[in-house]
Amino acid sequence: MRRIALVSSGLAVAAAVTGLNAASAAAQPASRPAQPAPRPAQALVRAATDGGNRVASPSRDVTTSGGRGRKYVTQGPRFNLPSKDPAKAGALDLYIKTLIRHTPAKAEIDVAVFRLRTSGMAKELVNAQKRKVRVRVVLDNDSLSQNKGVYNYLARHLGTNTKKSSWVVVCPKNRGCIAPSTKGVWGKNHNKFYAFSRTYDSRNVVVQTSGNATGGMYADYNDAYTLVDRKLYGAYRSYFYALAKHRPNGNYYRQTWSGKRAVAFFPKASGDPIVDVLNRVRCDGTKVRLSSGIFNRTEVAKALSRLDDQGCDVQVVAATFGTGTLKALARPGRHGGPAVHYFTGDSAAQAHSKYLLIDGTYNGRRHRMILTGSHSYTVDALRYNDEAVLTLMDSSAFPLYVSNFGKVYAAARGKLVVMPGAKTPEIPVGPVGAADYDD
């Protein structure tokens, strides 16, 4: 089946912002020994400050402070570039492994991922545990069928008893760890985050990525955003231990703000925060960009089409479309409809990042907003999966995302061309439950 790439200019990010409350409503972590309270983050990185969050260029993993030789993790975005160069293709995978290697004894690593299939990542986590790092891992149930040897290796070395200091657990079959089972739907833990109590000399570090620990992290276009933030680290930890408890909750949705950054956790039983955000966008020179592996959320597509009608510059790239989504995007409207690119069958790489970029007026004020994480623009991600989405009012990171979008958009050679009165183009579409199936 051919897959299609779609990129849009920032809608998803704004949506998450709208739905976020000023106060954190994070779930309470599971009761267990040796769970220290998060400690204040140490100073991070060079570069400008935005909303109290210092962000640096992603060209270096760490920066050195003063004459003491301390090394601090660089905050901000990173992207891989699918190619024959393993350093570029595997930039995100290699970066995460570097952080694991520099996690000291007695520190903690909490990992929640969809399909941990690579032995290399599993070995890094086990090696950390052998150095007396406390390593905990939550996997989706599909990890058992994709490469059970990797799970068995982790279970043998980390154990499966959550009362111990290290362990690995797997979500129940046919559901997420929190998202309940729903007939006819492939619910899952679709998260992709790594939380470090300490790595190098930084504390309270979270890496939120779109890539799974599979070959797809090299083969497809992915992004990752590194946070060093006590409050958001605490929110991720609370969510992580809620995942580990396996208590079903179809309306888990929680949000936590810290300065100009926020995280939201899913599933959500009603409403769509992405649509809410798009509805707050005013088209007075505003640009919107959206990238997703699969795009089948029809209401989001309709909102993008409405913004195009109102004069916004809307671009989308995706790997696979839903039929309803494609019809909404193919509607000519007043300005010809959103500009849509997709990957043709001969494309070596696909879009796999899940981000929305908004450059313009949102909620009555000029903003540059980024929304990124594990949350694809699918119905599953909204209603039936365990997911995390970062909202970043981060003007320093925004140009880097725009640049990445341009590369992915250009790499997607298929173009949706719509003529008034023409039928919906024959572009390959995928089933609703196919999100990230072949990561």
- Alpha-helical runs (H) found in 159-267: 216-219, 230-245
Q: Using the predicted structure, report yes or no on whether residue 29 has a pLDDT greater than 60.
A: no
**For position 147, what pLDDT does the model report?**
83
Would you say 124 and 90 are in contact if contact means Cβ atoms under 8 Å apart?
A: no
For a pLDDT cut of 70, what percent of the chain falls above it? 81
Taken as a whole, the chain contains a residue count of: 439
Q: At 101, which helix (H) or strand (E)?
A: helix 91-101
What is each CA distance from 54 to 49, 147, 229, 396, in whole angstroms? 4, 39, 10, 9
For a pLDDT cut of 90, what percent of the chain falls above it? 72
**For position 426, what pLDDT does the model report?**
55
Q: At 380, which helix (H) or strand (E)?
A: helix 379-383
Between 91-101 and 119-130, two packed helices, what is the crossing angle to 10 degrees?
Answer: 10
What is the C-alpha R_g of the chain? 20
Q: Using the predicted structure, report yes or no on whether residue 297 has a pLDDT greater than 80.
A: yes
- The encoded tokens of residue 360 equal 């313009």
Going along 22-85, which residue ranges are E strands?
Answer: 49-50, 53-54, 62-65, 70-73, 76-79
- The encoded tokens of residue 411 equal 């790499």
Q: Using the predicted structure, report yes or no on whether residue 211 has a pLDDT greater than 60.
A: yes
Sheet holding 192-199, edge to edge: 76-79, 223-228, 202-209, 192-199, 108-113, 134-139, 167-170
Residue type, 423: K
For residues 388 and 210, give the distance between their C-alpha atoms in angstroms, rounded to a whole number.
Answer: 10
pLDDT single digits (tens) 126-165: 999 999 999 999 999 988 988 899 999 999 999 999 999 9
Residues 6+ apart with CB under 8 A from 21: 255, 257
In this prediction, residues 194-205 reach a mean pLDDT of 98
Q: At 154, which helix (H) or strand (E)?
A: helix 148-158
**For position 158, what pLDDT does the model report?**
98
Would you say 73 and 62 are in contact if contact means Cβ atoms under 8 Å apart?
A: yes
Q: Which residue has the higher pLDDT, 238 or 34?
A: 238
Q: Using the predicted structure, report yes or no on whether residue 284 has a pLDDT greater than 80.
A: yes
Q: Which residues pair with 9 in a beta bridge?
A: 289
Q: Which of 404, 405, 411, 425 has the alpha carbon at shortest distance from 329?
A: 425
Same topology, domains 70-249 and 273-415? Answer is: yes
User: Which range scores top for mean pLDDT: 60-64, 68-72, 104-108?
Assistant: 104-108
In this prediction, residues 11-29 reach a mean pLDDT of 33
Q: Using the predicted structure, report yes or no on whether residue 395 has a pLDDT greater than 70.
A: yes
Q: Using the predicted structure, report yes or no on whether residue 377 has a pLDDT greater than 80.
A: yes
DSSP code of residue 67: G
**For position 384, what pLDDT does the model report?**
97
In this prediction, residues 179-207 reach a mean pLDDT of 96
In this structure, the dihedral spanned by the alpha carbons of residues 175, 373, 380 and 292, taken in order and rounded to 10 degrees, is -140
- DSSP notation for 291-358: EEEEE--HHHHHHHHHHHHTT-EEEEEEEEE-HHHHHHHH--TTTT--EEEE--TT-SS-B---EEEE
Q: Which residue has the higher pLDDT, 64 or 220?
A: 220
Please, what is the average pLDDT of the chain? 85
Q: Which of 436, 54, 21 has the alpha carbon at shortest distance from 265?
A: 21
Helices (H) and strands (E) in the chain, counts: 13, 22
**For position 422, what pLDDT does the model report?**
54
Residue type, 416: L
71-85, 110-124, 138-152, 252-266: least confident range: 138-152
DSSP code of residue 109: E
| Location of structure tokens 């936590």 | 256
In this prediction, residues 77-92 reach a mean pLDDT of 96
**For position 146, what pLDDT does the model report?**
80
Residues 6+ apart with CB under 8 A from 328: 298, 301, 302, 304, 305
CATH number of 273-415: 3.30.870.10
Q: Which of 404-407's residues contact partners 24+ apart within 8 Å by CB, and which partners?
A: 404/77, 404/79, 404/221, 404/223, 404/353, 405/7, 405/9, 405/289, 405/291, 405/315, 405/317, 405/355, 405/357, 407/81, 407/221
- The encoded tokens of residue 228 equal 């060093």
**For position 419, what pLDDT does the model report?**
60
Any idea which architecture 70-249 has in CATH? 2-Layer Sandwich (3.30)
In this prediction, residues 209-222 reach a mean pLDDT of 93
Q: Using the predicted structure, report yes or no on whether residue 80 has a pLDDT greater than 60.
A: yes
- The encoded tokens of residue 43 equal 């100073």
pLDDT single digits (tens) 312-336: 999 999 989 999 999 999 988 888 8
Q: Look up the pTM and report it.
A: 0.84
φ, ψ (nearest 5 deg) of residue 2? -70, 155
Q: Which of 415-421's residues contact partners 24+ apart within 8 Å by CB, and which partners?
A: 415/339, 415/340, 415/341, 415/342, 416/326, 416/329, 416/330, 416/337, 416/339, 416/340, 416/341, 416/342, 418/330, 418/331, 418/332, 418/336, 418/337, 419/332, 420/332
**For position 38, what pLDDT does the model report?**
34
What are the residue ranges spanned by the domains of the chain?
A: 70-249, 273-415
- The encoded tokens of residue 323 equal 């039929």
Would you say 77 and 371 are in contact if contact means Cβ atoms under 8 Å apart?
A: no
In this prediction, residues 191-210 reach a mean pLDDT of 98
In this prediction, residues 181-209 reach a mean pLDDT of 96
Q: Which residue has the higher pLDDT, 66 or 174?
A: 174
